Chain A
Amino acid sequence: MIVIESLTKRYGSATAVDAVSMVIERNSLTVIVGTSGSGKSTLLRMINRLVEPTSGRVLIEGRDTESEPGHTLRRRIGYVIQGHGLFPHRTVAENVATVPRLLKWEEARIRARTEQLLAALQLDPALYSEKYPHQLSGGQQQRVGVARALAAEPAVLLMDEPFGALDPIIREKAQDDLLDIQRKFGTTIVLVTHDIDEAFRLGDRVAVMSEGRLLQYDRPEVLVTRPADSIVARMTGSAERAMRLLSLTTAGEAALPLASDGGKEDAPVVRASASLREVLSELLWRGSEIATIVDENGTPCGRLTVAAILARGRPS
């Protein structure tokens, strides 16, 4: 758990972050979203003390981050930045081994951990360990950056616009991978982005910042249905809020029981992991009233009607 207590950063007379307080639950993925200059990156960088706060404090698992030198604190916190920042003169394996080496792990343990992480991020260790960053694609570099940040098994992972440099198709894949990683390693992730879609897609909880202040910090559906003020409402997009709400629920979660007759033969088939937004779009496109939901093995496990989806698009 990360507790942030009225954290403030001033540069001269300008206030970058203004008395922000928030509690980040363990094993959650929290997204801080805001326009550029909203103070979101500064807030993130005060958690690992790359930026020293003017006032206020941060507790990680009850321990004040000021109780040890900044560089040793940062070895316990994963950090991923936009444009990955890989060391160009070191191989992929050496990059990943950076923090374990700083912590003086044994070589055998470092090698085992490096291979485990590269495999988990779909980079075959035999193929990629000895490559240099410039020999990788943008998506691969980004994954090596994540592997490096996770190398020393940090409980907390901070990510500053980690997908900003990726093209849209690779970005979506990278976002899915991140959700997988989070499930697999149970890391507490705090991610900064200016992309509200990314925030809604990834965040268990989303913090909206503007001009250094934290406007609202809640579950995504609450941000859509009960925005704290006009800035949050504008950011979450009031014209699209019904669709946003739909995008937060998967077909599997909203599925109705299968009809006893086994359902209509020609009903469109959608995966349980698809969002209601995607299901509705598919139904509109096919001109159908009803869809059959299938699990990952392709077995029908429920159905969804347009009426049922529309009901989910209204604030409850």
Chain B
Amino acid sequence: MRRAATLLRLAGLGLLLAFLLAPQLFAPLFAPLTEGGAPPIYDQGNLGMLALAHLATVLAACLGSTVLAVALGILVTRAGGQEFLPLSRAVVSFGQTFPPVAVLALAVPLVGFGEKPTLIALFLYGLLPIFENTVVGLRTCPAAVLEAASGMGMSARQRLLTVELPLAMPLILEGIRISLVINIGTATLGSTVAAKGLGEVIIAGLLSNNTAFVLQGGLATGLMAVLLYDAVAALERRLCRTARID
């Protein structure tokens, strides 16, 4: 069962790479979707480069979200920081509920077109899952374990770094995984403000009424999201194989 799942993933990865590196191979598949001799495969840019740029934008935004969300999560679970919990929660929830399209529209006048407004939108959008999972992870460390850590003579910092964060890590990683996956999809919106990414293919399809473009942009993005989700899940399992099973 597990073996079959791995094979399926490898097949997915192979398919994605083949499509990004040699898209013309797939032309016969997409040809029935075009009308009036329009090109069946996106021809206004290199698909591989677009996918890389797409991934880079998402990863950069996610790195920023992780740093801020984990830092906030640590702050609000310390004895002195509890009063910041409602405020922090309001800020990250606002980041999630405020539509990314609106963030883009507001950010462009401030930072101009390109990657920057997309990074801001994705950064805000990705905060919530990481923050909430960090808070839950740190809060659910068993009380006896924390008591023992202090009783052994760990300073607050040592306790955080060597006991609390390692125990919370599975949940934090899960938060990062959710954030990554939703942002792979959301990042397609960046192409409306001239950020490089797979959204470009979809938008080109919409403008020229070419369903084949829309479909290949969507499929490539979706496949990338699924594969990334699995990759982070595998990493989680590796890291957590030894940690709390009880």
Contact = CB atoms under 8 A, between A and B. Distances in A.
A79 interface: yes
A88 B167 contact: yes
A74 B158 CA distance: 14
Interface in A83-112: 83-89, 98-99, 102
A89 B150 contact: no
Contacts of B146: 85
Given A81-B144, A82-B144, A83-B144, A89 B242 contact: yes
Contacts of A187: none
Interface string A261-278: 000000000000000000
A89 B148 contact: no
Interface string B131-157: 000000000001011111111111100
Interface of A: 48, 50, 71-76, 79, 81-89, 98-99, 102, 132-134, 145, 148
A13 to B, nearest CB: 22
B151 A75 contact: no
A75 B144 contact: no
A72 B246 contact: no
B246 A85 contact: no
26 contacts: A48-B151, A50-B150, A71-B150, A73-B153, A74-B151, A75-B152, A79-B148, A79-B151, A79-B152, A81-B151, A85-B142, A85-B145, A85-B148, A85-B149, A86-B145, A88-B145, A88-B167, A88-B245, A89-B244, A98-B152, A102-B152, A102-B154, A102-B158, A132-B245, A145-B148, A148-B152
Nearest to A74: B153
A74 to B, nearest CB: 4
Given A132-B242, A134-B244, A134-B246, A86 B150 contact: no
B166 interface: yes
A69 to B, nearest CB: 8
Nearest to A98: B152
Contacts of A81: 144, 147-148, 151
Nearest to A134: B246
A238 B161 CA distance: 52
B77 to A, nearest CB: 18
B163 interface: yes
Contacts of B152: 74-75, 79, 98-99, 102, 148
A99 B153 contact: yes
A132 B152 CA distance: 19
A48 B150 CA distance: 10
Q: What are the 8 closest A-B residue pairs judged by CB atoms, nearest first?
A: A85-B148, A75-B153, A79-B151, A85-B144, A74-B153, A134-B246, A89-B243, A88-B244
Contact of B150 (A74, A99, A132, A145): A74
Contacts of B158: 102
Contact of A102 (B153, B166, B167): B153
A98 B153 CA distance: 9
Given A72-B153, A85-B148, A148-B152, 16 more contacts: A50-B150, A74-B151, A74-B153, A75-B153, A79-B148, A82-B144, A83-B144, A84-B148, A86-B145, A88-B142, A89-B167, A89-B242, A98-B152, A99-B153, A102-B154, A132-B245
